[in-house]
A and B are shown apart, each in its own frame.
Chain A
Amino acid sequence: MTNEFLLAGFGGQGILFAGKLIAYAGLYAGKEVSWLPSYGPEMRGGTCNCSVTLSDLPIGSPLILNPTELMVMNTPSFDKFIGSVKAGGMAFIDSTLVEGTSDRTDIKCFYIPATGMANENGLKGMANIILAGKMLKEIGLTDEAVIEKALKKCIPPKKADKLEANMKALRLGMDFNG
């Protein structure tokens, strides 16, 4: 079993962080993992994406061109990548930020108003975590202990007070129906 995630949005939305969280969750769940960011000047506020692979086998290419799971947090990324999702794959779309819907019938699209949900729940800036929670749920990686360990690993010690809020955001995502 191999999951190939492509996460995309603007710099500053926590795209790389969400990718890292998924990678650590995979690692602690006993998978082979890789994480590859887009890098360069676009990191400073422009578009940003990262590829994450979780697999039962050693990973060849860390670069994902046709994801099985796509997460998008802005319209340009949605337009750019929605066509690249493998048939049978899933797309996780922040519907607060992305205009429009996909007419693809061979993939499953989740429209999650993650940014709106984050703002309503006092979790500003954690839409990425809500989306990550939903993705983990949908691929069946739901062991709370694993996820919490991953989150702890990803949050730097000086931001340890944010752990609880992050866990809340993750659960919101996991419990989201739609």
Chain B
Amino acid sequence: MFSSVYSAALNGLDAYLVRVEADISDGMPQLLMVGYLSSEVREAGDRVRTALRNTGIVLPPRRITVNLAPAGIRKAGSRFDLPVAAAILASLEKIPGDSLKNVMLTGELSLSGRVLPVPGILALAEAARDNGIHRCIVPEQNAAEGAVLDGMEVIGASSVAQLIELLRHPKEAACVRVDTDRLLREQSCSREADFSEINGQAMAKRAAEVAAAGMHNLLMIGPPGAGKTMIARRIAGILPPVTLEEALEMTKIYSVAGLLPENTSLLLGRPFRAPHHTVTAEALAGGGRIPSPGEISLSSGGILFLDEFPEFKRNALEILRQPLEERRVCISRTAGTYIFPAKCMLVAAMNPCACGHFPDRSRCTCTEGEVSRYLGKISRPLLDRIDICTEVPGISYEELTGKQENESSASIRKRVEAAHRMQQERYEGLPVRFNAYLNGSQTELYCPLGKKEKNLLKNVFGKLNLSARAYYKIIKTARTIADLEQEKRILEQHLLEAVRYRLPDGTYWGKGV
């Protein structure tokens, strides 16, 4: 007898529906799996047969054919065990056939009949919802994750036996409920690292605040042990709390990458990713035969921190250029193009030279050439994507041990939130959300300057040998500083401060004529 049930397969961050069909007919006794399957999907047959037997259901000695449609797309992963079992059970009439209508099933089976968790539930549930299916049966550990979707009934199954019960008495099934509003409300209370723990470094803190307020990429230069990593870790904490939309996207990415902790419904708190400098280009941007998200996508909505910036492999850094500009990663394979979000804020840190002590010449042993070569390791186009640069000087004993009152992250966050709100109002209805995302012509349009301010910039342009890119960066940064002060217009004072955050060029590094 023929029966079918819906499941879903991942394709990058998105999922598509797969219909799992089973048919039992006369013929050589065997379980045949078809539909362009990778080997882990083909193995589902053996897992299902054994899991069913250990639940007390022995497959009859007949020919069982299982097909995963559409047969033209290759299917991978272990998430088809549960729907295959359900389809076979329906063919055997162990469960009513119509109980499988409008249900999406996913899950891996253990030989004992237990249901094991699988990655990517949120994306799968979303695909089901988009196709008009409003009921999902997923592994128990994943149920909370799927349940965050509005209008989706999610039921957790822990074993094949329970699945049969669920399908026999669908009315009695208990749906998992998640109150996303409450989760979002409560998120801001739990932050571990706070800016109040950092003594001194007022300059770097201010730069971090400005960067966070406009989502500008930030470069910190300073000797080892000055506190660059400490500052970077705390930047996520001064960004506004995540919105439901952002939380769903983050959760989806982590879920697809298999990094979502069990029994988590929504990822709250902005990510902070600090890949080691030996990271490969693929790990950074995402890759694999069936691409999975890389660090730049895992940090979407939060901070991607690259410590020892010049030590990263050149090709790994260069791959960041396009994603930082477009705020998404495109990976092309013969099977199609995969798109992952990359809305992260890049925070890079580096020593001023190989020994780390430049410009303190009594300690630095590098020659001029070595010092300028050190910065030269980072390509100009990549530096061009960083708006704000600051120095993090070494810290004195007095500053380190002093008991000062430092401003807390919560109070900095209030200002940043206000600046974000101003930007949201200004860019209403545009794809641009933050000042850092403006291109040249948009900068002209949304950051108009008065006569006095234009004159000042003209003076700066000539005196400091600015490039066109540096020019727009200064205007964008000034816009953010004005937003922090809730000022509608960009004033001279904002431009004057913004100039101080520009990137070092050749002349800073002790290079002569």
A in complex with B: no
The residues of A with any CB-CB pair to B shorter than 8 Å are none
The residues of B with any CB-CB pair to A shorter than 8 Å are none
